[in-house]
Amino acid sequence: MKNKKLMLMAASAVLSLTIATNAFAASGTVDRSVNFRTAPNTDSSVISTLKSGTSFTVLSKVNDYWLKVSVGGKTGYVSTGYVSTGGTSSGGSGNSGSSQSSKADQVIAKALSLKGITHYKYGVNQAPTLLDCSSYVKYVYSFFGVNLKWGTRYQKDAGTFVAKANLKKGDLVFLRVGSSKEIGHVGIYAGNGQFIHNSPSEDGVMTSSLTSGYWASRYVTARRVL
């Protein structure tokens, strides 16, 4: 009798665990290509690159920036900024407007926190103290699961195009420098016509206007990466 009771208790525990796991699991889809990693950080190894449209199962929500997922029988991690989730309780939608806005505010706060710490030097990527404009942007976004290459020539193709009239906080803005017609500078849109950037004239991080002053006529394009 005692053994039978123990077996029933064990079976009940397994059933409860199975129900809890199934209740948590949610489906998801890759919105744009994302690295499928071995750990929830950008320093971890890449298992593979998941293409847009790839389906996966959410196993758990690590934090606002990373999901633990299962794809093709393999388990790994993806950045929430590149995917959409549905179904039941992963703890929230991975790419909702509110979460995007919250993340953008955190990006801006991080960018501003480097004022007085980060100094400018062209062609240098020595975070956090000595960076150029694009390595500064790359460094800031690395804290939020967004992988950017170093250099405006690469960053100008990251994410998706966004028109100037539709800019949102956290978008990358690209500008000309001097009389050049080519993109030569990048910053982070902070809202209200302002952007944050690592400036050679300031020798560090500053906020400037896109609607007046030096940069007003030098805007070229923008990309959304959140």
CA angle 218, 226, 104 (to 5 degrees): 80
CB 120 within 8 A of CB 153: no
Does 133 qualify as catalytic in the annotation?
Answer: yes
Does 119 qualify as catalytic in the annotation?
Answer: no
Q: Catalytic: which of 197, 199, 205, 208?
A: 197
- CA distances in angstroms from 93 to 58, 68, 202, listed in the order given: 11, 14, 39
- Pairwise CA distance, residues 189 & 159, whole Å: 15
First and final CA of the chain: distance in angstroms? 59
How is residue 224 written in tokens?
A: 């959304």
DSSP-derived secondary structure for 194-215: EEEEEETTTTEEEEEESSSSTT
CB 176 within 8 A of CB 170: no
SS3 20: helix
Q: Catalytic: which of 30, 104, 114, 133?
A: 133
- Pairwise CA distance, residues 202 & 62, whole Å: 38
Q: Catalytic: which of 185, 196, 204, 210?
A: 185
Phi, psi of 109 (to 5 degrees): -60, -40
- Hey, which residues are catalytic here? 133, 185, 197
